[in-house]
Amino acid sequence: MRPAALLFACWCAGTCAALWHYSVRYARAVEPPSGWTRLDPGRAPASPVESVLTDRGEVRLAGGGPVRVVNFWDPDCACSRFQSASIREAMRRWPEARWVTVVPGGSEAAARAAREFPGVPAAADPRGRIARLFGVPAAPAAAVIDREGRVAYLGAYNIGRFCDAEETAYAALAIRAVLKGERPKVASTPFFGCGSPASAAERATAGDEGRPPASREDARSHERELR
């Protein structure tokens, strides 16, 4: 094969790989593994997690209080990083909502999330337990909890091709509706992006609940989630 033809073939292969990694791969919905709890926001279920421990203290997700938005975000996921700007814009637009970011990883991943979303508490979810309890198999995603502590929306931030179409920004529309005391017209959407550790490796099995956590950080998370 001539050098020019070889170079062209390598370019084509690289282009296809990049297209898969940054576009086609994230255009496919991620389904929760079998056995996961599938919350139905249309029935307004209570928050499955009472509170999370963040770098700024404990944040309550259950019971009465302000509207809360759980931002499931993965610092190692290109799709999450791509949506960071629009998520920050939503945080600026609705500061009256109580935002908290949950990341699949330890304290270092939570620190990266804190830098990405300044002023927003960040919680480490090293075993994917919080994501599993909400039934969120991939990031980026959002859970909107109303003033009564009930899940009003669960799903992707935006299902538009480039995540910038206002008519498919269902998480933003849900936040706006819940702040007005209304129910979102669309309560759930499929999940897109990168699978959580628990989704990808099925680490959080039913038998795992009774085992001691592997670290002090895991222990604090474990204790909060099993209250």
Domains located in the chain, CATH noted = 31-225 (3.40.30.10)
- Per-residue pLDDT at 165: 77
Alpha-carbon distances, residue 18 vs 7, 24, 203 (angstroms) = 16, 9, 29
Let me know if 19 is exposed, middle or buried by CB neighbors in 10 A (0-12, 13-18, 19+): exposed
Residues in the chain with pLDDT < 50?
A: 5-6, 8-26, 201-227
| Count of beta carbons in the 10 Å neighbourhood of residue 13 | 10
pLDDT at site 35: 74
pTM > 0.75: yes or no:
yes
Specify whether the CB–CB gap between 184 and 178 falls below 8 A. yes
pLDDT of 178: 98
Residue type, 184: P
**Which residue, chain included where needed, has tokens 């009003």?**
152
Q: How many CB atoms lie within 10 A of CB 44?
A: 15
The helix/strand/coil state of 102 is strand
Q: What is the DSSP string of 44-94?
A: -PBPS-SEEEEBTEEEE-SSSSS-EEEEE--TT-HHHHHHHHHHHHHHHH-
**Rounded Cα gap, residues 99 and 92, in angstroms:** 11
Contact of 197 with 86, CB cutoff 8 Å: no
* Partners of 99 in beta bridges: 69
Q: Measured between alpha carbons, how far is 70 from 99 in angstroms, rounded to an integer?
A: 6
Task: Calculate the alpha carbon distances from 106 to 60, 93, 128, 164, 172 in Å.
Answer: 20, 29, 10, 30, 28
Coil, helix or strand for 122?
strand
DSSP character string of 147-187: TTSBEEEEE-S--STTS--GGG-HHHHHHHHHHTT---S--
**β 98-103/122-124 pair status:** parallel
